[in-house]
Structure 1
Amino acid sequence: MHPSARPYADRHIALLTQHGKERVIGPALEPGLGCTIEHVSGFDTDLLGTFTRETARAGSQLDAARRKARKGMELSGLDAGLASEGSFGPDPFTGMVPWNVELIAWLDDRLGIEVVGMAQGPARSGHLLSDDWSAVEAFAQREGFPQHQLVLRPESQDDTRMHKGIADWDRLRHCFDACQAQASNRQVFVETDLRAFANPTRMRLIEQAAQDLLQRLQSSCPACNTPGYWVTERVPGLACSACGRPTASCRAEVWSCPRCEYQSRVSKATQALTDPRHCAHCNP
């Protein structure tokens, strides 16, 4: 909305990741911002939580992204950093589709701001418990294997014996046979590997979240010129054209600066009234 004058030109930004996210985050941000994204290692990010449930994530998804970004800044000595964190669950619309939400937190101690990019969409995050190789084979094909890697365990989803990073058919069959031999019930639990480098669908959403972050960082506050001026609230209440009651349709957006207290309210109504299909009274 308010393009900035590249405040991050020539700055170095820490990115802590051990799962290959630098491959999509750097190219998405560097050309537009003029910065250098520095890949930081030396810390096991799995200590902050794993999708395979060995370590529970403490706090929220955003809390985890902040902790990673801050740790990257500490390790690199840089005054700005970013990190991403994903979550998986049912979709927010029907509750029936596997869903992935990706957040990227950008921390800048020099300006004293936090800006968060986000993307969401359908996920490759299936699972299966079976003693039948043909069923496992069919599941793997549905989940996009071998591009999308798999994780296998004997007996149940909670078994701590685990085979990760399975990325070819021969190893999949070998791990299936090994797990079945270990399981007292002959069952093998198969799930999609949700680590970024092992899940191309997730990696594409991380790239989209980085593009969303770029847009936010290229929008500057009209009052203080700080990057990150963006929508912080969508105000519902556009009136129904049939009954006149307020609906959930957006009638205005509130834009806010992450640093100063400046806000503006922007009307989003292209017309004074909205269609009755959006009205809870006319279309319950």
Structure 2
Amino acid sequence: MSHYAGQRLALLTQHGKEAVIAPVLEPALGCKVERISGFDTDQLGTFTRDTPREGSQLEAARKKARIGMSLSGSQIGLASEGSFGPDPFTGLFTWNTEMLVLIDDRLEVEVVGIAQGPARCGTLRTAEWSALEAFATKQDFPAHQLVLRPQHQDDPRLHKGIADWPTLKRHFDACQAKASNGQVFAETDLRAFANPSRMQQIGKAAEDLLRRLLSLCPACATPGYWVTAQQAGLPCAACGLPTSSYRSETWQCLRCTQSETRPRTDRQFAEPQHCAFCNP
């Protein structure tokens, strides 16, 4: 039986994240994901930069989870936090990383699910409605909502919640009238309920969290038994020399001293492209 069967998991969110988290966790764990309100999570940081986030992405998620636990009186809290930056491969595209943290004060553990991938995230400054129309279409509007402001990206006069074409045109005209330079700055709304691409990544983070919660320590049965390190050295398929690809992984418990090194089982050799000798 799951450690979370019959338990209440407090999820602090005002952006509808329970819609993709609860269907993943509840059937598999037998728990109830309870949406907690009563706190404006935008106070902890916004993607529109009007409220900067303090601390790291994980620290922000922890803070949300703790607030939800406090408001609900639950010993188990859930919270997610997203970030956007350059992709780790080329640095040319926007990349979305989502963290979903579970804090369990009963077991004194913290388990974090992670998902990441390309993001639907763009910006435009223009004085032309036709240019905004083209930008909005490329950003998959109105499924992905937009945010407008006059003049430039730091103007505090925000127009959020734009989810249809007539509203977009009305706010474009209003922003242009307010702008001394006639320019309107547009950006993709990155709040979860307004950005289906991001919501999909949150659902994947929930799936990753579930895998970790179902992985129990072989010594004490604590959930979250997972990989903490990888050891390089998988032999090259061409020359047999050690490569940068990992050959084994270290698995460790979150509570007790249980730890083990497991050899890689999905492949015996690395591609020559990862070999410093074959591909210097």
TM tier relative to shorter chain: over 0.9
Deviation at 1:270, TM superposition (A): 5.2
SS of aligned partner of 1:28:
helix
**CA 1:274–1:105: 2 relative to 1, 3 Å:** same
The amino acid that maps onto 2:258 is: Y
**Are 1:171 and 2:170 matched, yes or no?**
no
Distance (Å, rounded) in 1 between the aligned partners of 2:112 and 2:88: 20
Is 234-243 or 155-164 further displaced after alignment?
Answer: 234-243
SS of aligned partner of 1:274:
coil
**Are 1:280 and 2:276 matched, yes or no?**
yes
Q: Report matched runs for 1:130-141 at 5 Å.
A: 130-141=126-137
The residue that corresponds to 2:149 in the other structure is 153
The residue that corresponds to 1:258 in the other structure is 254
**Are 1:180 and 2:176 matched, yes or no?**
yes
The amino acid that maps onto 1:209 is: A
Deviation at 1:238, TM superposition (A): 1.3
The residue that corresponds to 2:105 in the other structure is 109
SS of aligned partner of 1:87:
strand
Deviation at 1:65, TM superposition (A): 0.4
The amino acid that maps onto 1:37 is: V
Superposition TM-score, scaled by structure 2 size: 0.97
Distance (Å, rounded) in 1 between the aligned partners of 2:112 and 2:63: 13
Gaps of 5+ in 1: none
Residue among 179, 201, 212 paired with 2:208: 212
Distance (Å, rounded) in 1 between the aligned partners of 2:215 and 2:159: 45
Aligned Cα RMSD in Å? 1.2
- Check conservation: 1:250, 1:269, Cα contact below 8 A: no
Residue among 38, 43, 47 paired with 1:42: 38
Distance (Å, rounded) in 1 between the aligned partners of 2:266 and 2:62: 37
The residue that corresponds to 2:52 in the other structure is 56
Distance (Å, rounded) in 1 between the aligned partners of 2:109 and 2:266: 33
Superposition TM-score, scaled by structure 1 size: 0.96
Gaps of 5+ in 2: none
Distance (Å, rounded) in 2 between the aligned partners of 1:55 and 1:46: 7
- Check conservation: 1:238, 1:269, Cα contact below 8 A: no
Q: Report matched runs for 1:91-102 at 5 Å.
A: 91-102=87-98
Deviation at 1:242, TM superposition (A): 4.1
Deviation at 1:269, TM superposition (A): 5.1
